[in-house]
Amino acid sequence: MTPIRVLHAPEMVAGNAPELARAERRIGLKSWCVSFERSRYGYEVDEILFAAADGAITREIKRLRLLARALRRYDVVHFNFGSTFLPIARLDGGGEGAERLYNTYARLVQLRDLPLLKAAGKGIVMTYQGDDARQGDVLRAQFDIHPADEAESEYYTPISDEGRRERIAFVARYADKIYSLNPDLLHVLPLGAEFLPYSHIDIDSVRPRPPNRRLDHVRILHAPSLRSVKGTRHVISAVESLKEQGLPVELALVEGLSHDQALREYAKADLVVDQLLYGWYGGFAVEAMALGKPVVAYIRPEDLEWVPREMRDSLPIINANAHSLEQVLMEWVTIRRDELADVGELSRAFVEAWHRPTSVAERTRATYQQILKAR
Q: What is the 3-state secondary structure (H, E, C) of the chain?
A: CCCCEEEEECCCHHHHHHHHHHHHHHCCCEEEEEECCCCCCCCCCCEECCCCCCCHHHHHHHHHHHHHHHHHHCCEEEEECCCCCCCCCCCCCCCCHHHHHHHHHHHHHCCCHHHHHHHCCCEEEEEECCCCCCCHHHHHHHCCCCCCCCCCCCCCCHHHHHHHHHHHHHHHHHCCEEEECCHHHHHCCCCCCEECCCCCCCHHHCCCCCCCCCCCCEEEEECCCCHHHHCHHHHHHHHHHHHHCCCCEEEEECCCCCHHHHHHHHCCCCEEECCCCCCCCCHHHHHHHHCCCCEEECCCHHHHHHCCHHHHHCCCCEECCCCCHHHHHHHHHCCCHHHHHHHHHHHHHHHHHHCCHHHHHHHHHHHHHHHHHHC
| Sign of the C-alpha dihedral computed for residues 348, 187, 297 and 259 taken in this order | positive
Least confident range of 152-166, 246-260, 266-280, 352-366: 152-166
| For residue 240, pLDDT beyond 90 | yes
| CA distances to 136, 149, 236 from 233, in Å | 20, 13, 5
Please give the pLDDT value at position 93: 65
What confidence score (pLDDT) does residue 374 get?
A: 93
Q: Which residues pair with 237 in a beta bridge?
A: none
189-197 long-range contacts, Cβ below 8 Å, gap at least 24? 189/128, 189/133, 193/128, 194/306, 195/306, 195/307, 195/308, 196/127, 196/360, 196/363, 196/364, 197/311, 197/354, 197/355, 197/360
Pick left, alpha or beta for residue 42 (phi over 0 → left; psi -120 to 50 → alpha; otherwise beta): left
| Per-residue model confidence (pLDDT) at position 163 | 94
pLDDT bucket at 216, cuts 50 / 70 / 90: confident
Q: What is the pLDDT, as a whole number, of residue 91?
A: 80
Task: Calculate ∠ Cα 16-184-356, nearest 5°.
Answer: 35
C-alpha–C-alpha distance, residues 115 and 117, integer Å: 5
Residue 226 pLDDT: 83
**Per-residue pLDDT for 152 more than 70?**
no
Taking the C-alpha atoms of residue 62 and residue 85, their distance in angstroms, rounded to an integer, is: 9
Asked whether the predicted pLDDT for residue 246 surpasses 90, the reply is yes
Per-residue confidence (pLDDT) for residue 375, from 0 to 100: 81
pLDDT of 254 strictly over 90: yes
Task: Please tell me the predicted confidence (pLDDT) of residue 361.
Answer: 98
Taking only the tens place, the pLDDT of each residue in 287-335 is: 999 999 999 999 999 999 999 999 999 999 999 999 999 999 999 999 9
Among residues 245, 242, 244, 222, the alpha carbon closest in space to that of 233 is found at 222
- Neighbouring CB atoms inside 10 A of 102's CB total 17
Q: How many percent of the chain have pLDDT more than 70? A: 98
CATH number of 5-201+356-374: 3.40.50
pLDDT of residue 169: 98
pLDDT exceeds cutoff 90 at 117: yes
Pairwise CA distance, residues 69 & 61, whole Å: 12
* Rg value, the chain, Cα: 21
Q: Which regions of the chain carry the CATH code 3.40.50.2000?
A: 203-354
CATH of domain 203-354: 3.40.50.2000
pLDDT over 70 (residue 106): yes
